[in-house]
Amino acid sequence: MSYGKKVLDHYENPRNVGSLDKDAPNVGTGMVGAPACGDVMKLQIKVNDDGVIEDARFKTYGCGSAIASSSLLTEWVRGKTLDEASKIKNIEIVEELSLPPVKIHCSVLAEDAIKAAIKDYNDKQSGAG
Amino acid sequence: MANEVKLPIYLDYSATTPVDERVAGKMMRYMKMGDVFGNPASRSHSFGWQSEKAVDEARQQVAALVNADPREIVWTSGATESDNLAIKGAAHFYGKRGKHVVTVKTEHKAVLDTCRQLEKEGFEVTYLEPQDNGLLDLDAVSQALRDDTTVLSVMHVNNEIGVIQDLTALGEIAREKGVIFHVDAAQSAGKVPIDLQRLPVDLMSFSAHKIYGPKGIGALYVRRKPRVRVEAQMHGGGHERGMRSGTLATHQIVGMGEAFDIASKEIANENERILSLRNRLWEGLNQLEEVYCNGDLEQRVAGNLNASFNFVEGESLIMSLKNIAVSSGSACTSASLEPSYVLRALGRNDELAHSSIRFSIGRYTTAAEVDYTVDLVKESVIRLRELSPLWEMYQDGVDLEKVEWATH
């Protein structure tokens, strides 16, 4: 299978790789997928007092398209409000990266990851407040 | 060092091999006007006789590599057709005696799908599970053979993990129970010594393109003493003593003969050289943490190394090895998202099955290519592990088996 240019670029130069402190109250962590399915995505966001995502980090175990989807997503969510970030649809990732049909599940996983990270952050906030 | 190496590097000799130049050169002389091009079945003129002579010589060359009688060799289009002819042919011919066939879960699809077809026709098939090292438990084989079993089919060398089954022991079990023993030797001929005068094997499948011959040609060995019968699957002019009709492809056959002849002469030296390269590759890769060799390392064909790089997904690793032609045990690329059924049958967990790569070394592989590969794989695995949440969890001491994954 041949990969699109943008997938290759993100795969070779992944943006925002890393981890944030998962115990910090202003960090939300989303971990989705399973090793048995061949992909696991961890996406973390750091949210400031205005509800804006000021940092986003990822680590992904999976194929090049899964790595690219999560890398792209960290770029997109930075500077967005939680509300804006939660509206990102997997189809936008598919279009941006020109993912073939067999790789659409990678974009779905990325959408699930940001939603899970936002939920984790909100749970922490409501628990703390 | 890197500039000695010509990229891309071919390390997928188990998938296919390039045609040896000596083979290609010879084949060229069996096609054109002025050369030998006649139909080997034409009995009335010299064009036919010349072709028939060439086919006979090739038959001797193929037989010689495996110490068989040339009359025991039936030309086919490749190992897939040979497997079909052997298994369906014997199951059908001996159908009155019983309708039970025994094979192994790690066989090539050419055997497994042929058995599935027999099941549709009303046969019963037992698929044996190999041990964790890929080798068969002989007691389990013995117990699986019943009074109504007619065929046992076991591959000599596995295409994915390269393990070598004990044909002598398996054949003796089959003989004792009066079961026809078929062996797919596509991955072993020319790489592992085969002596059909001694081995208790009844039917054996061969392919040319796995040992530097052309694609599209193979053979089935059919034992004469004691005589083994197969029902034809391809009907027509009654070629190959009625077992396989169709005009013989002289140039292909000559190519296969030459390839087998070269293998006969060079097998010992070649194996030694290839084994030392394989060891060099494994020693290099094994410097990484959490690397596993799939399949028994001792009972293994020289050119094969199948390794799993834990916490790294196979397809992404292959993507990073873009200048190296290898194959992944993970069939993610085929959209099925299923890890290799062979590795699963060995009891490998999903992560390891998803992270496996098959390296296969052959006639034209050099030490510099192996070194380049080791460096690139190490660099890539380290880089991908930096990206891997599983590696991070492993480093933090998390037991991945106990994590509840959000399966999608």
pLDDT band for position B334 (cuts 50, 70, 90): very low
pLDDT band for position B405 (cuts 50, 70, 90): confident
Q: Is A34 on the interface with B (CB under 8 A)?
A: yes
User: How confident is the model over B373-390, as a mean pLDDT?
Assistant: 97
Q: State the pLDDT at residue B315.
A: 86
Which has the minimum average pLDDT: B144-153, B231-240, B314-323? Answer: B314-323
B272-288 tens-digit pLDDT: 999 999 999 999 999 99
pLDDT exceeds cutoff 50 at B407: yes
The closest CB to that of A35, out of B335, B350, B408, belongs to B350
Residue partners of B355: CB distance under 8 A and separation at least 6: B308, B309, B310, B311, B312, B313, B314, B317, B330
Q: Which residues 71-100 of A are in CB contact (within 8 Å) with B?
A: none
Task: Please report residues of A whose CB lies closer than 8 A to that of B389.
Answer: 31, 40-42, 59-61
pLDDT band for position B337 (cuts 50, 70, 90): low
pLDDT exceeds cutoff 70 at A19: yes
pLDDT exceeds cutoff 80 at A129: no
Q: State the pLDDT at residue B336.
A: 47
> What is the DSSP code string of A87-112?
T--HHHHHHHHT--GGGHHHHHHHHH
> What is the DSSP code string of B145-196?
--TTEEEEEEESB-TTT-BB--HHHHHHHHHHTT-EEEEE-TTTTTTS---T
Q: State the pLDDT at residue B338.
A: 67
Q: Is A114 on the interface with B (CB under 8 A)?
A: no
Q: % helix / strand / coil in chain A, to the nearest 5? A: 50, 20, 25
pLDDT exceeds cutoff 60 at B266: yes
- Residue-averaged pLDDT of chain B: 94
Q: Is A20 on the interface with B (CB under 8 A)?
A: no
Q: State the pLDDT at residue B331.
A: 46
Q: Which residue has the higher pLDDT, B333 or B233?
A: B233
Residue partners of A5: CB distance under 8 A and separation at least 6: none
List of E strands, B40-179: 73-76, 100-104, 124-128, 149-155
Q: What residue in A sits closest to B351 (Cα-Cα)? A: A35
B52-80 tens-digit pLDDT: 999 999 999 999 999 999 999 999 999 99
User: How confident is the model over B300-314, as a mean pLDDT?
Assistant: 95
Distance CA B79, CA B7 (A): 30
Q: State the pLDDT at residue B314.
A: 87
pLDDT band for position B335 (cuts 50, 70, 90): very low
User: How confident is the model over A50-60, as a mean pLDDT?
Assistant: 96
Query: In degrees, to the nearest 5, what angle opens at C-alpha B185 toward C-alphas B183 and B188?
Result: 140
